[in-house]
Amino acid sequence: MKPPLLLIGHGTHDETGVAEFGRFVHRLRCRLDGLPAEVSGGFITNARPPLADSIASLVARGHHHLIAVPLSLTGDRNALGDVPGTMALEQERHPTLEYDLGRSLGPDPRVLRLLAERLADARAEMPRFVTEEPPVEIAPNETAVVLVGHGSTDPAVNAEVHRVSRLFWETHVPDLLTVETAYVSHARPGVPGGLERCRRLGAKRVIVLPYVLFAGAVLERIWAQALAYGANHEGLDIRCAEVIGDCEGLADVVIDRYEEALAGAGVSSAPARVRPRPAVREIRTGVAVSPREAVPDLDGGLDVDPGLEADLEAVEAEIETEMEAKLDNGPGGVGTGPLAQPGVPSAV
């Protein structure tokens, strides 16, 4: 039986997000039932089930090696929580517990395809009231997208969302006017700023595309900001797409992350092997030189270039020869009397 898959969520006070997380855990249980591998899930904060309870339940059933996959598109520690720190705390509670940590879910080509599906649904013509006026045709080059991420205090995380916007534009919707980036909080521009940029570029329709996994409070904030902007710009057609959500495509990505970590591509919690270095030979000063501290040997040690290793050995031999020569110098040498100091006559 393969190690169980542990899905890690940040946690939310919104019941919609918690319910969708639970449905997704159930979907993966059904998908991995044939391996066989157990699937469990928990939240770091603010929601049930707590991650600690899920881990305790797995350990009680005899599982001491887990594959943990954070349900995060960016791997932002501030947004998801300190996953390594949380898992280290669980290892203190369960000393036999080991785990491998899988990669975050995005950017992945399949995630981009799911975003394209959500965008296509939002671009479809909406139902209209019966009217004699024909619908206004808006060309693709008059349509823009604002891809909205959570936002972070970490510039690298915000840059990753911006990279996703560019990848999405060039690989899935190159015919559209632009794909701009915005953030819900902690970074600029916000949703109104992204919409304003699209309007100034000449867009007649702007689709707000959440770069978010599940529905909940974050999605509601995105929609509220977009609707507030649209209330003051009636000539602009603003539409809001759905989140990625619980679906088979997202399950495919998570299973791949599970298989990667299982094959050794994840971050392991197992302690690194320690390879002691040879002790430095004691020289004839009457003072023993302590051995070098043992250093972790990651993945069986580092591959050292033979030429570089030979050069290092030559330098060490040269230093050793100089030390022995100084020791044999007699009066004033290192081994026969006190060291002469600059400006102080030797007592010998």
- Domain range summary for the chain, segments of one domain joined by +: 5-104+248-268, 109-126+136-240
pLDDT digits (tens, 9 = 90+) for 266-283: 677 654 333 333 443 433
> What local confidence, expressed as pLDDT, does residue 33 receive?
86
> What local confidence, expressed as pLDDT, does residue 280 receive?
38
113/173 Cα distance (integer angstroms): 11
pLDDT digits (tens, 9 = 90+) for 169-185: 999 999 999 999 999 99
CA Rg value for the chain: 30
Task: Find the range with the poorest average confidence among 16-30, 54-68, 93-107, 301-315.
Answer: 301-315
pLDDT digits (tens, 9 = 90+) for 214-268: 999 999 999 999 999 999 999 999 999 999 999 999 999 999 999 999 998 767 7
2/5 Cα distance (integer angstroms): 9
**What's the full length of the chain, in residues?**
348
Equal fold, 5-104+248-268 vs 109-126+136-240: yes
CATH of domain 109-126+136-240: 3.40.50.1400
What mean pLDDT, rounded, does the chain reach?
82
The amino acid sitting at 214 is F
Beta pairing partners, 208: 146, 240
User: CA 244, 227, 169, 118 torsion: positive or negative?
Assistant: positive
Q: Return the biggest CA–CA distance within the chain.
A: 115
> What local confidence, expressed as pLDDT, does residue 284 receive?
38
Comparison of pLDDT for 256 and 289, the residue scoring more: 256
Comparison of pLDDT for 331 and 224, the residue scoring more: 224
Domain 5-104+248-268 has CATH 3.40.50.1400: yes
Comparison of pLDDT for 31 and 275, the residue scoring more: 31
- Cα–Cα–Cα angle for 36, 37, 40, nearest 5°? 150
Does this model's pTM top 0.85? My answer is no
Residue 6 has pLDDT above 60, yes or no: yes
pLDDT digits (tens, 9 = 90+) for 150-171: 999 999 999 999 999 999 999 9
Comparison of pLDDT for 90 and 128, the residue scoring more: 90
How many CA atoms lie less than 13 Å away from 71 in the CB half-sphere?
30
> What local confidence, expressed as pLDDT, does residue 18 receive?
92
Interhelix angle 15-32/248-262, nearest 10 degrees? 60
Report percent pLDDT > 70 for the chain.
73
Residue 94 has pLDDT above 50, yes or no: yes
Which of 113, 144, 284, 125 has the alpha carbon at shortest distance from 208? 144
Residue pair 128/135 in contact by the 8 Å Cβ criterion: yes
192/145 Cα distance (integer angstroms): 13
Question: Helix, strand, or coil here: 270?
Answer: coil
Element (DSSP H or E) covering residue 306: helix 306-327
DSSP assignment of 224-262 equals HHHHHHHHT-TTSEEEEPPP--S-HHHHHHHHHHHHHHH
Which of 180, 244, 251 has the alpha carbon at shortest distance from 210? 244
